[in-house]
Amino acid sequence: MAATFRNSYADRSYNCRCCGQAAVFTALEQKHAFEVNKTHIHKQRFLCEPCWRAEHAVQEKLAAMAARWAQNQRELRGDLDFLGGWRALLSEHERYGARPDQARQAMLDKLIQALGAPGQA
Ligand SMILES: [Zn+2]
């Protein structure tokens, strides 16, 4: 039975893990995801379309911040706007069901605290 799975996509309904909205991962979208974008076949969709897009945008921002950090850590250590923004973005990412990046969150909390920011958690 499993032998034909690649050619037999079926609409799959689910509830968005973020907003709870009922959504459908259509057969056509699955075909596109798995055959055009080469998404891993076991990758399920957990978010509705708007949440997925929003999550994707957050992910891109996080990647950009991590890249900035990697290049300019010494200076950014003292940049409360950057640190606070990054920390808030990590929390936002979790709302979409992303696994929390606890090590990074702890690091940021510590840096923010060291800069004496009130009430950032
Ligand atoms: Zn949603």
∠ CA(68), CA(70), CA(76), 5° rounding? 60
Asked, for residue 29, whether it belongs to a domain, the answer is yes
Query: pLDDT digits over 92-107, tens only?
Result: 999 888 888 999 999 9
4-59 pLDDT per residue, tens: 455 678 999 999 989 999 999 899 988 888 888 877 665 678 899 899 899 999 99
Closest by CA position to 56, among listed 3, 92, 24, 20: 92
Range of the domain at 28: 9-46
Tell me the one-letter amino acid at 93. Answer: H
CA of 31 to the centre of ligand 1 (A): 21
The reply to whether 67 and 87 lie within a common domain is yes
**Ligand 1 centroid vs 96 CA: distance in angstroms?**
8
Residue 64 CB coordination number (10 Å): 11
pTM for the model stands at 0.74
Domain shared by 32 and 59, yes or no? no
Specify whether 53 is located in the same domain as 105.
yes
Look up residue 41 and give its amino acid: I
Distance 120 CA to ligand 1 centre (A): 27
How many structural domains is the chain composed of? 2
101 is a domain residue: yes
Please check whether residue 84 lies inside any domain of the structure: yes
Query: 77: CA distance to ligand 1 center in Å?
Result: 34
